[in-house]
Amino acid sequence: MKKIIITFLFSITFLKLAYADMNNADKNRAWECSGIYMANYFLPPGETFEYSMKEKSMASVKVLKAYALEIGIPEKDWDDGVNKAVDKFYGSKYDEGKTNACHKFVNAIIPNGEERVKKVIQTLY
């Protein structure tokens, strides 16, 4: 019984440390980037873009969510944050500067972020 309790306490401590990989500022930035990426995917008529940009945007949203779940952020919390960001950015014009800043953020915060996005792009279709 003592081993079970020690294992349980160790697991809780480990999960708290893992959750610390994304502080509140990082979560807000990740949600904002998810909103920007979703806006890129659903650009209003008349916007010019490269199709590969849409693919990278959708793959980045998937990678951000997968990483959030990996580090212990509850899915409902993540989805609520993303939905608020999507509401904020939906229908906006493509902003190359914001999009590139989000790509840099994803690559910086997620281990092997760039490779993970490329891998997801290959599985989109």
42 Cβ neighbours under 8 A, 6+ residues apart: 90, 91
What's the pLDDT tens digit per position in 11-34? 555 444 444 478 999 999 999 999
Tell me how far apart the alpha carbons of residues 36 and 14 are, in angstroms, rounded to a whole number. Answer: 32
Give me the pLDDT at residue 65, please: 97
Tell me how far apart the alpha carbons of residues 97 and 30 are, in angstroms, rounded to a whole number. Answer: 16
The pTM (predicted TM-score) of the whole model is 0.79
Tell me how far apart the alpha carbons of residues 37 and 113 are, in angstroms, rounded to a whole number. Answer: 15
Q: Mark the ranges of the chain whose per-residue pLDDT is less than 50.
A: 14-20
Q: How far from the centroid of its chain's Cα atoms is residue 56's Cα?
A: 12
